[in-house]
Structure 1
C-alpha cells in the first residue's frame, strides 16, 4: 500500500487475505502483549478468531496468566507479522469480553478434543506431571461421553477494541511504508510514519 486506505478495518481484511494466500504458516497467529498488576509486560502467541468494526477477537482461559493480567489492566497490544507478504499490523486498545452468545458459538465450533482440553487445563498453573493432565482428560471424556461438551465458565473470548492500528509494508533499503490510524470519535485519523 503506497497510500493510506480510508478504513483500517477494510485495509486489515485485504492484508489478511493476502497473508492467507502467501504464508506457509497460520496467518491467524498473532502476538498478544499484556501488562500484569506489577506493570510488567508479557507476550505470547494467540489465534485471531474474528475481526469486524468492533475489534479483533481471540479466545482463552479467563484464569490463565493473560486472563488475570487483562482483569487487572484491560488494555492490550496485538502484532501480526506475515514475512512472505512483507507486512506487519499492530493493534492497540482496550479489551472487553465477547458476548456469551459469541463465546458459546465459537466453543461449539471447536473440535471435541479442544473442548475437553478447555475443561482439563488450568492454563498457566503449575502441573505435577503429564499423567495428571491426561487423567483429567480421561475423566472429562467419560463425563461428557454421549453428549455435547458445554463451554466452561472460565473460558471465553476477548475483543481488542482498537484505538490505534499501524500498518507496516516492507520495502527495499529498509525504507518501509508505515501508516498509523488513530481513533478520533467515530472515525480514524491516518498519518504516514517515518520508516
Structure 2
C-alpha cells in the first residue's frame, strides 16, 4: 500500500513549482524545484503494510532554499513522500528526544504515523519512559534523518495526546500479534529475564484467544505541534543548506542558518 498526500476531497495532491539552478550536492548536480507557497489542508498518513517504492533511477525533486515557501508544511510532506518512495527500510523511523522532570535527556526511535499542519503523530505505551517525560514537560523534538538522500527534518513543539478515536483507529490496523503484545509488555519496566517476558506474552495470547483485541488504556498516540521545523540538505565538504521555520502568530518566520 502506498502512502499518499491527501487533501479535503480525498484525492491525491499534486506538487507545484518552478525550477532554478543549484550548487553541486554531495552526490550530484541538481536542479531545484521551488515548493508551492499554497497551504492546502493535507495529511500524510504512513502505510502500516508494504509501501510502493519508485522505479529504479528515481531521485527526489530538489528544493530551492533561496526562495522558501511561506508555509513549510507542504514542503515537509514532499520530503517525507520522496523518502517513502525510495527503497530504504523504515523511512518513517524518527529519533524522539524528550527530557524528564529533573532535566535528564533521552532519545529513542519511534515510527511516525501521521503528519499534517496539526502536528507529527506517533503511537506508544504512554506508561513508558517517553510517556512519563512527555507527561512532565509536554514538549519533544523529532528528527527524521535520510542519509541516502542527504536530508534531515527536525520538528520541535508542544505535545498532546491524540483522541481515543484516533488511537483506536490506528490500533485496529496493527497486526494481531502486535496488538496482543501491547497488553503483554510494561514497556521500559525491569524484567527478570526472557522467560518472564514469554510467560506474560503467553498469558496475553490466552486472554484474547478468539476475541477482538481492544486497545489497552495505557496505549495511544501523541501529537507534536509544529512550532519549529528545520530543513537540512547536505552538500559537499559540510557546506550544507539549513532553513528554520518558526511559528509566528498564524504564519511562519523563516531563518537561514549557517551549516
Q: Normalization by structure 1: what TM-score?
A: 0.97
- The counterpart of 1:11, out of the listed 47, 51, 75, is 75
Report 1 or 2 for greater relative contact order, CA contacts < 8 Å, sequence distance ≥ 6: 1
Are 1:159 and 2:223 matched, yes or no?
yes
Secondary structure at the aligned position of 2:227 is classed as: strand
Provide the alpha-carbon RMSD of the alignment: 1.0
In the alignment, structure 1 segments of 5+ residues that lack a partner are: none
Instruction: Report deviation, 1:133.
Output: 1.2
Contact 1:34–1:41 (CA under 8 A) maintained in structure 2: yes
| Structure 1 ranges of 4+ moved more than 4 A | none
Deviation at 1:163, TM superposition (A): 0.7
Instruction: Kindly indicate whether residue 79 of structure 2 is the aligned counterpart of residue 2 of structure 1.
Output: no
Quick check: 15-24 or 142-151, which moved more? 15-24
Length-normalised TM-score, structure 2? 0.73
CA contact (8 A) 2:151 2:234 kept: yes
Aligned to 1:78: 142
Higher strand share: 1
Counterpart for residue 183 of structure 1: 247
Distance in 1 between residues matched to 2:71 and 2:211, nearest whole Å: 44
2:103 is the alignment partner of 1:30: no
CA deviations over 1:113-161 (Å, ceiling 9, x no partner): 1101110000000011111111111111111111210000110110000
Unaligned runs of 5+ in 2: 1-62
How many pairs are equivalent?
Answer: 195
Any idea what SS the aligned residue of 1:12 has? helix
| In 1, Cα distance between equivalents of 2:234 and 2:87 | 15
Q: Distance in 1 between matches of 2:145 and 2:129?
A: 23
2:234 pairs, out of 166, 170, 173, with 170
> Which residue of the partner structure matches residue 171 of structure 2?
107
